[in-house]
């Protein structure tokens, strides 16, 4: 048996950050993210089933080129999954992947990459085994498999606002899979924009996995995990009642806390750059002067995400071009916003 499966999955930006993990990729605190629209990974898996082999056979192309590092990471990931799905070891897989965003843009690609991969792999498993799940169970399992590749990828399996991790008062939320926020979202948060300012596109000095690891000895870890849970609970109310002021406070406190935790790690480290700080300063000044509800958030790197309701796009574009682009590498920024989640590509070309 052979065939091909293609999925396209977006990246996401965390409003409440996942930072700290334990066991098999389980989060120390719940996180809440907004799925993006344009920053996508498309992954095709050409598969065939070979009854005479005992170990999965894999080749991997990124942008049509071999990529040994990612192929190795993918191979180990597949071997780990054979405990759950023994049939994986009988598969021959040719995986090929590409991103819509530039490779060296500094955008975290593991979320969209592992989400697209997990969705594709689960589709292949269903096809080969002949055992199909219902839609809910399919996406829950895809989120679970994506998490095992990269924690934040568990959230990219869904569109809109997504929570991953046990949260007080929300019995359905769990550490193993993400869930979409299903409470009514206020209109102001239904069309959020995210302009991503690329301050430095180079690979991070300290990767996320090492950063998560340093939370195990961080003296502020316990209180941080409690704060994140409180923020996730409060963010549900904010997304429903449209309280932009509180949204801005939580989002910016989360961004700065993430980097404060890095600085307070043992050893401490710093991923913010001069351009990052200059942009943050100007964003605050602009909000003060104009009363436009613009805020910033940060990933584990120096690049800045500007979040704002779609109705202010013209004013923010003007601010970026006038005052912020000078802090961006090659005058680079990416225009994105809230998205609906992954899609299965049915035309296999």
Q: Which is nearer to ligand DP6, 108 or 294 (CB)?
A: 108
By the rule CB under 6 A, 31 interacts with ligand DP6: yes
| Burial (Cβ within 10 Å: 0-12, 13-18, ≥19) of residue 289 | exposed
Q: Does 96 bind ligand DP6 (CB under 6 A)?
A: no
Query: Min. distance of Cβ 110 from ligand DP6 in angstroms?
Result: 5
DSSP-derived letter for residue 25 is T
> Cβ neighbours of residue 18 under 8 Å, at least 6 residues apart?
27, 29, 31, 151, 152, 164, 165
The stretches of the chain forming alpha helices (DSSP H) are 68-81, 110-129, 135-149, 153-156, 187-190, 208-214, 221-241, 244-263, 274-290, 313-319
- Taking CB under 6 A as the rule, does residue 44 contact ligand DP6? no
- Name which of residues 143 to 172 contact ligand DP6 (CB under 6 A): 150-152
In the complex, minimum distance from the CB of residue 299 to ligand DP6, in angstroms, rounded to a whole number: 5
Could you tell me the CA-to-CA distances from 254 to 32, 113, 147, 345 in Å, in that order?
11, 24, 21, 35
- Rule CB under 6 A: say whether 17 interacts with ligand DP6: yes
**Residues binding ligand DP6: number (CB under 6 A):** 17
The yes or no reply on residue 216 touching ligand DP6 (CB under 6 A) is no
Q: Which is nearer to ligand DP6, 31 or 329 (CB)?
A: 31
- Report whether 198 contacts 333 (CB < 8 A): yes
294 vs 267: CA distance, rounded Å: 33
CA-CA-CA-CA torsion sign (47, 53, 54, 60): negative
271 lies in the binding site for ligand DP6 (CB under 6 A): no
Q: Decide: is 110 part of the binding site for ligand DP6 (CB under 6 A).
A: yes
- Six token digits for residue 185: 């979202």
Give me the least distance between CB of 273 and ligand DP6, in Å please. Answer: 16
Does position 28 interact with ligand DP6 (CB under 6 A)? The reply is no
- The window from 17-25, 176-184, 189-197, 326-334 that contacts ligand DP6 (CB under 6 A) reads 17-25
Q: How far is the CB of 250 from ligand DP6 (least distance, A)?
A: 14
208 lines the binding site for ligand DP6 (CB under 6 A): yes
Could you say which of 7, 18, 101, 173 contacts ligand DP6 (CB under 6 A)?
18
Minimal CA–CA distance to 160: which of 36, 312, 31, 335?
36
- 82 Cβ contact partners less than 8 Å away, ≥ 6 residues apart: 56, 88, 89
Task: Indicate whether 11 belongs to the interface with ligand DP6 (CB under 6 A).
Answer: no
Site for ligand DP6 in 289-318 (CB under 6 A): 299-300
Binding flag, residue 231, ligand DP6 (CB under 6 A): no
Cβ closer to ligand DP6: 47 or 247?
A: 247
SS3 content of the chain, % helix, strand, coil (to 5): 45, 25, 30
The residue from 5, 14, 128, 271 that contacts ligand DP6 (CB under 6 A) is: 14
204: which 2 tokens?
């991070």
- Assess whether the previous peptide bond of 267 is cis (omega < 30° from 0): yes
Residues forming contacts to ligand DP6 in the complex (CB under 6 A) are 14, 17-19, 25, 31, 108, 110, 150-152, 208-209, 212, 258, 299-300
């Amino acid at each position: 048996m052979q065939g091909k499966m293609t999925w396209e999955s977006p990246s996401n930006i965390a409003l409440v950050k996942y930072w700290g993990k334990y066991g098999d990729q389980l989060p120390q605190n719940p996180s809440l993210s907004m799925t993006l629209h344009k920053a996508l990974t498309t992954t095709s898996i050409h598969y065939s089933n070979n009854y005479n082999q005992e170990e999965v056979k894999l080749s991997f192309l990124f942008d049509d080129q071999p990529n040994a590092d990612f192929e190795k990471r993918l191979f180990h990931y597949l071997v780990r999954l054979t405990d759950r799905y023994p049939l994986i070891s009988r598969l021959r897989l040719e995986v090929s992947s590409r991103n819509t965003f530039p490779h060296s843009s500094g955008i975290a690609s593991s979320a969209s990459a592992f989400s697209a991969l997990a969705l594709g792999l689960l589709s292949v498993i269903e096809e080969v085994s002949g055992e199909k799940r219902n839609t809910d169970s399919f996406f829950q399992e895809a989120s679970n498999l994506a998490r095992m590749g990269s924690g934040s990828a568990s959230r990219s399996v869904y569109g809109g606002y997504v929570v991953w991790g046990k949260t007080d008062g929300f019995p359905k939320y769990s550490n193993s899979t993400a869930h979409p926020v299903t409470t009514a979202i206020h209109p102001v948060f239904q069309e959020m924009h995210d302009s991503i300012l690329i301050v430095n596109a180079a690979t991070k000095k300290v990767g996320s996995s090492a950063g998560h690891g340093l939370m195990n000895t961080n003296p502020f870890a316990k209180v941080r995990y409690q704060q994140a849970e409180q923020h996730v609970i409060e963010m549900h109310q904010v997304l429903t009642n449209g309280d932009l002021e509180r949204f801005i406070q939580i989002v910016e406190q989360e961004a700065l806390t993430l980097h404060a935790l890095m600085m307070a790690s043992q050893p401490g480290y710093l991923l913010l750059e001069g351009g990052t700080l200059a942009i943050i300063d100007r964003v605050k000044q602009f909000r003060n002067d104009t009363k436009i509800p613009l805020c910033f958030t940060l990933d584990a790197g120096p690049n800045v995400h500007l979040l704002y309701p779609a109705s202010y796009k013209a004013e923010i574009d003007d601010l970026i071009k006038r005052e912020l682009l000078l802090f961006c590498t090659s005058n680079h920024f990416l225009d994105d916003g809230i998205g609906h989640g992954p899609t299965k590509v049915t035309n296999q070309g």
